[in-house]
Protein backbone atom coordinates (compact mmCIF):
# COMPACT_ATOMS: atom_id res chain seq x y z
CA UNK A 1 0.00 0.00 0.00
CA UNK A 2 1.25 3.46 -0.87
CA UNK A 3 0.37 6.31 1.45
CA UNK A 4 -0.85 9.04 -0.93
CA UNK A 5 -1.22 12.71 -0.08
CA UNK A 6 -2.91 15.31 -2.26
CA UNK A 7 -2.04 18.88 -1.34
CA UNK A 8 -4.15 21.86 -2.40
CA UNK A 9 -1.89 24.89 -2.24
CA UNK A 10 -0.93 28.18 -3.85
CA UNK A 11 2.73 27.17 -3.44
CA UNK A 12 3.19 23.67 -4.89
CA UNK A 13 6.99 24.20 -5.06
CA UNK A 14 7.09 23.99 -1.26
CA UNK A 15 6.61 20.21 -1.66
CA UNK A 16 8.23 17.78 -1.04
CA UNK A 17 10.60 20.32 0.59
CA UNK A 18 12.43 18.73 3.51
CA UNK A 19 10.55 15.48 2.90
CA UNK A 20 12.62 14.93 -0.25
CA UNK A 21 15.69 14.38 1.99
CA UNK A 22 16.88 11.66 4.34
CA UNK A 23 14.62 8.72 5.22
CA UNK A 24 11.39 10.29 3.92
CA UNK A 25 13.16 11.16 0.65
CA UNK A 26 14.27 7.53 0.24
CA UNK A 27 10.78 6.35 1.09
CA UNK A 28 9.39 8.69 -1.59
CA UNK A 29 11.82 7.22 -4.15
CA UNK A 30 10.92 3.70 -3.05
CA UNK A 31 7.19 4.37 -3.43
CA UNK A 32 6.30 3.96 0.27
CA UNK A 33 4.48 7.28 -0.10
CA UNK A 34 3.55 9.62 -2.94
CA UNK A 35 2.15 13.11 -3.23
CA UNK A 36 0.44 15.37 -5.71
CA UNK A 37 0.74 19.11 -5.08
CA UNK A 38 -2.12 20.85 -6.89
CA UNK A 39 -1.86 24.56 -7.59
CA UNK A 40 -5.21 26.12 -6.68
CA UNK A 41 -4.39 29.06 -8.95
CA UNK A 42 -4.54 26.75 -12.00
CA UNK A 43 -8.34 26.59 -11.47
CA UNK A 44 -9.02 30.32 -11.79
CA UNK A 45 -10.82 31.58 -14.85
CA UNK A 46 -10.05 35.31 -14.90
CA UNK A 47 -7.01 36.94 -16.47
CA UNK A 48 -5.63 37.97 -13.09
CA UNK A 49 -5.87 34.39 -11.74
CA UNK A 50 -7.67 35.63 -8.64
CA UNK A 51 -8.05 33.14 -5.80
CA UNK A 52 -9.11 35.46 -2.98
CA UNK A 53 -11.45 38.33 -2.21
CA UNK A 54 -12.36 40.71 0.61
CA UNK A 55 -14.28 39.29 3.60
CA UNK A 56 -18.04 39.83 3.88
CA UNK A 57 -18.69 41.85 7.03
CA UNK A 58 -15.43 43.72 6.63
CA UNK A 59 -12.14 43.28 8.43
CA UNK A 60 -8.52 42.79 7.58
CA UNK A 61 -7.06 40.49 4.97
CA UNK A 62 -8.43 38.40 2.17
CA UNK A 63 -10.34 35.12 2.06
CA UNK A 64 -9.81 32.28 -0.41
CA UNK A 65 -12.86 31.76 -2.65
CA UNK A 66 -14.85 28.53 -2.26
CA UNK A 67 -15.59 28.08 -5.97
CA UNK A 68 -11.94 28.08 -7.01
CA UNK A 69 -10.87 25.69 -4.25
CA UNK A 70 -13.78 23.39 -5.10
CA UNK A 71 -12.66 23.13 -8.73
CA UNK A 72 -9.18 22.19 -7.53
CA UNK A 73 -10.65 19.65 -5.10
CA UNK A 74 -12.88 18.07 -7.74
CA UNK A 75 -9.85 17.52 -9.98
CA UNK A 76 -8.74 14.85 -7.47
CA UNK A 77 -10.19 11.47 -8.34
CA UNK A 78 -9.98 9.98 -4.83
CA UNK A 79 -9.46 12.63 -2.14
CA UNK A 80 -9.76 10.29 0.87
CA UNK A 81 -9.75 12.02 4.26
CA UNK A 82 -9.99 15.79 3.78
CA UNK A 83 -8.03 17.99 6.17
CA UNK A 84 -7.75 21.76 6.40
CA UNK A 85 -4.61 22.88 8.26
CA UNK A 86 -5.67 25.64 10.61
CA UNK A 87 -4.75 27.01 14.04
CA UNK A 88 -8.46 26.57 14.91
CA UNK A 89 -8.33 22.80 14.44
CA UNK A 90 -7.99 19.78 16.68
CA UNK A 91 -4.41 19.72 17.90
CA UNK A 92 -2.18 17.14 16.22
CA UNK A 93 -0.97 14.56 18.77
CA UNK A 94 0.79 11.22 18.27
CA UNK A 95 -2.39 9.06 18.42
CA UNK A 96 -3.93 11.16 15.62
CA UNK A 97 -0.66 10.90 13.65
CA UNK A 98 -0.85 7.10 13.97
CA UNK A 99 -4.45 7.15 12.78
CA UNK A 100 -3.59 9.35 9.77
CA UNK A 101 -0.54 7.25 8.86
CA UNK A 102 -2.85 4.22 8.65
CA UNK A 103 -5.11 6.03 6.17
CA UNK A 104 -4.55 5.28 2.49
CA UNK A 105 -5.21 8.76 1.08
CA UNK A 106 -5.27 12.25 2.57
CA UNK A 107 -6.09 15.56 0.94
CA UNK A 108 -4.54 18.54 2.72
CA UNK A 109 -5.86 22.02 2.08
CA UNK A 110 -3.33 24.77 2.80
CA UNK A 111 -4.76 28.23 3.36
CA UNK A 112 -3.04 31.56 2.94
CA UNK A 113 -4.20 35.07 3.81
CA UNK A 114 -6.98 35.12 6.46
CA UNK A 115 -8.13 31.62 5.52
CA UNK A 116 -10.71 29.96 3.30
CA UNK A 117 -14.43 30.54 2.90
CA UNK A 118 -16.24 28.51 5.60
CA UNK A 119 -18.82 27.18 3.11
CA UNK A 120 -16.16 25.20 1.24
CA UNK A 121 -15.07 23.46 4.47
CA UNK A 122 -18.68 22.69 5.43
CA UNK A 123 -19.86 21.56 2.00
CA UNK A 124 -16.97 19.10 1.53
CA UNK A 125 -16.59 17.86 5.10
CA UNK A 126 -13.06 19.05 5.81
CA UNK A 127 -11.80 18.34 9.31
CA UNK A 128 -9.53 21.02 10.77
CA UNK A 129 -6.19 20.12 12.31
CA UNK A 130 -3.70 22.45 14.03
CA UNK A 131 -0.04 21.61 14.64
CA UNK A 132 0.10 23.84 17.73
CA UNK A 133 -1.05 26.99 19.45
CA UNK A 134 0.76 29.51 17.26
CA UNK A 135 -0.03 31.04 13.90
CA UNK A 136 1.96 30.34 10.73
CA UNK A 137 1.80 32.43 7.58
CA UNK A 138 0.15 29.54 5.75
CA UNK A 139 -0.82 25.91 6.01
CA UNK A 140 2.11 24.55 3.95
CA UNK A 141 4.71 24.24 6.74
CA UNK A 142 2.00 22.67 8.92
CA UNK A 143 1.20 20.16 6.14
CA UNK A 144 4.92 19.28 5.83
CA UNK A 145 5.16 18.69 9.58
CA UNK A 146 2.06 16.54 9.63
CA UNK A 147 3.30 14.56 6.61
CA UNK A 148 6.72 14.05 8.23
CA UNK A 149 5.13 12.71 11.42
CA UNK A 150 3.02 10.25 9.38
CA UNK A 151 5.68 9.14 6.87
CA UNK A 152 8.19 8.07 9.52
CA UNK A 153 5.58 5.65 10.86
CA UNK A 154 5.03 3.90 7.51
CA UNK A 155 6.22 0.27 7.38
CA UNK A 156 9.88 0.05 6.35
CA UNK A 157 10.59 3.81 6.47
CA UNK A 158 12.60 3.78 9.70
CA UNK A 159 15.61 1.48 9.86
CA UNK A 160 14.87 0.01 13.28
CA UNK A 161 11.31 -1.21 13.74
CA UNK A 162 11.47 -0.67 17.51
CA UNK A 163 12.49 2.95 17.32
CA UNK A 164 9.03 4.35 16.64
CA UNK A 165 7.45 2.52 19.58
CA UNK A 166 9.69 3.77 22.40
CA UNK A 167 9.67 7.49 21.79
CA UNK A 168 8.08 10.50 23.43
CA UNK A 169 4.29 10.75 23.24
CA UNK A 170 3.75 7.29 21.75
CA UNK A 171 0.94 5.30 23.39
CA UNK A 172 3.38 2.36 23.66
CA UNK A 173 5.26 4.24 26.39
CA UNK A 174 2.11 5.50 28.10
CA UNK A 175 2.50 8.86 26.36
CA UNK A 176 5.53 9.77 28.52
CA UNK A 177 8.53 11.76 27.35
CA UNK A 178 11.46 9.68 26.25
CA UNK A 179 14.38 8.80 28.57
CA UNK A 180 17.84 10.35 27.85
CA UNK A 181 20.27 8.71 25.44
CA UNK A 182 24.05 8.25 25.66
CA UNK A 183 26.74 6.93 23.33
CA UNK A 184 30.55 6.78 23.24
CA UNK A 185 32.82 8.04 24.67
CA UNK A 186 31.94 6.58 28.10
CA UNK A 187 33.80 9.49 29.70
CA UNK A 188 33.62 12.71 27.74
CA UNK A 189 35.79 15.72 28.64
CA UNK A 190 34.13 18.91 27.42
CA UNK A 191 35.88 22.02 26.10
CA UNK A 192 36.13 23.45 29.66
CA UNK A 193 37.91 20.32 30.93
CA UNK A 194 34.88 18.93 32.80
CA UNK A 195 34.44 15.17 32.70
CA UNK A 196 30.96 13.75 32.04
CA UNK A 197 30.45 10.01 32.56
CA UNK A 198 27.65 7.89 31.12
CA UNK A 199 25.34 6.67 33.95
CA UNK A 200 26.84 3.41 35.32
CA UNK A 201 23.57 1.49 35.07
CA UNK A 202 23.62 1.76 31.26
CA UNK A 203 27.00 0.00 31.19
CA UNK A 204 26.01 -2.68 33.69
CA UNK A 205 24.56 -5.09 31.14
CA UNK A 206 21.62 -5.70 33.53
CA UNK A 207 18.67 -5.28 31.17
CA UNK A 208 15.96 -5.32 33.83
CA UNK A 209 17.78 -2.62 35.78
CA UNK A 210 18.31 -0.57 32.61
CA UNK A 211 14.63 -0.81 31.71
CA UNK A 212 13.58 0.32 35.19
CA UNK A 213 16.08 3.21 35.12
CA UNK A 214 14.73 4.36 31.77
CA UNK A 215 11.12 4.16 32.93
CA UNK A 216 12.00 6.15 36.08
CA UNK A 217 13.80 8.76 33.98
CA UNK A 218 10.82 9.03 31.63
CA UNK A 219 8.42 9.54 34.52
CA UNK A 220 10.63 12.10 36.27
CA UNK A 221 11.21 14.06 33.07
CA UNK A 222 7.51 14.06 32.24
CA UNK A 223 6.57 15.14 35.78
CA UNK A 224 9.08 17.99 35.59
CA UNK A 225 8.46 19.24 32.05
CA UNK A 226 4.98 18.12 31.09
CA UNK A 227 2.82 17.45 34.17
CA UNK A 228 -0.16 18.13 31.88
CA UNK A 229 0.33 14.83 30.03
CA UNK A 230 0.81 12.65 33.17
CA UNK A 231 -2.28 10.52 33.64
CA UNK A 232 -2.04 9.63 37.37
N1 LIG B 1 -1.91 27.52 9.56
C2 LIG B 1 -1.49 28.59 10.24
N3 LIG B 1 -1.15 28.28 11.49
C4 LIG B 1 -1.36 26.94 11.62
C5 LIG B 1 -1.22 26.01 12.69
N6 LIG B 1 -0.78 26.37 13.90
N7 LIG B 1 -1.55 24.73 12.46
C8 LIG B 1 -2.01 24.35 11.27
N9 LIG B 1 -2.17 25.17 10.23
C10 LIG B 1 -1.84 26.46 10.40
CATH number of the domain residue 56 falls in = 3.40.1280.10
Please indicate whether residue 86, judged by its CB atom, sits closer than 6 Å to ligand 1.
Answer: yes
Q: What percent of the chain has pLDDT above 70?
A: 97
CA-nearest residue for atom 2, ligand 1, is 136
Q: Looking at the predicted structure, is the pLDDT value of residue 126 above 60?
A: yes
Tell whether 22 and 100 lie within a shared domain.
yes
Q: Is residue 211 a part of any domain in this protein?
A: yes
| 28 confidence band (pLDDT: 50, 70, 90) | very high
Range 108-121 average pLDDT = 94
**C-alpha span between 140 and 148 (Å, rounded):** 12
Distance 44 CA to ligand 1 centre (A): 25
pLDDT tens digit sequence for 189-219: 999 999 999 999 999 999 999 999 999 999 9
How far is 162 from 171, CA to CA, in rounded Å? 13
pLDDT at residue 164, rounded to an integer: 63
First-last CA distance in the chain: 39
Residue 164 lies in a domain: no
The whole-number average pLDDT for the span 211-232 is: 94
What pLDDT, in 10s, does the model give residues 151-202?
999 999 987 555 666 788 888 778 899 999 999 999 999 999 999 999 999 9
Answer whether 134 contacts ligand 1 (Cβ < 6 A). yes
pLDDT at position 159 is 76
Which range of residues forms the domain containing residue 8? 3-151
Let me know if 167 is exposed, middle or buried by CB neighbors in 10 A (0-12, 13-18, 19+): middle
Q: How many domains does one find in the chain? A: 2
Q: Whole-model pTM? A: 0.94
Same domain, 109 and 224: no
**Phi-psi label, residue 113: left if phi above 0, alpha if psi -120 to 50, beta otherwise:** left
Ligand 1 pocket, residue 142 CB under 6 Å: yes
- Does 163 fall in a domain? no
Residue 157 lies in a domain: no
Task: Indicate if 206 and 147 belong to the same structural domain.
Answer: no
Amino acid sequence: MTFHINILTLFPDMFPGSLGQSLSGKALENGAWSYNAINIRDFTEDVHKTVDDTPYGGGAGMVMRPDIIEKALLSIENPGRKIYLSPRGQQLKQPLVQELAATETLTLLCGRYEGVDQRLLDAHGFEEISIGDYVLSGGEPAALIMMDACIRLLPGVMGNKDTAGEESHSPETGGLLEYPHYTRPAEWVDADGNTHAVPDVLRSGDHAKIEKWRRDQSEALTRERRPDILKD
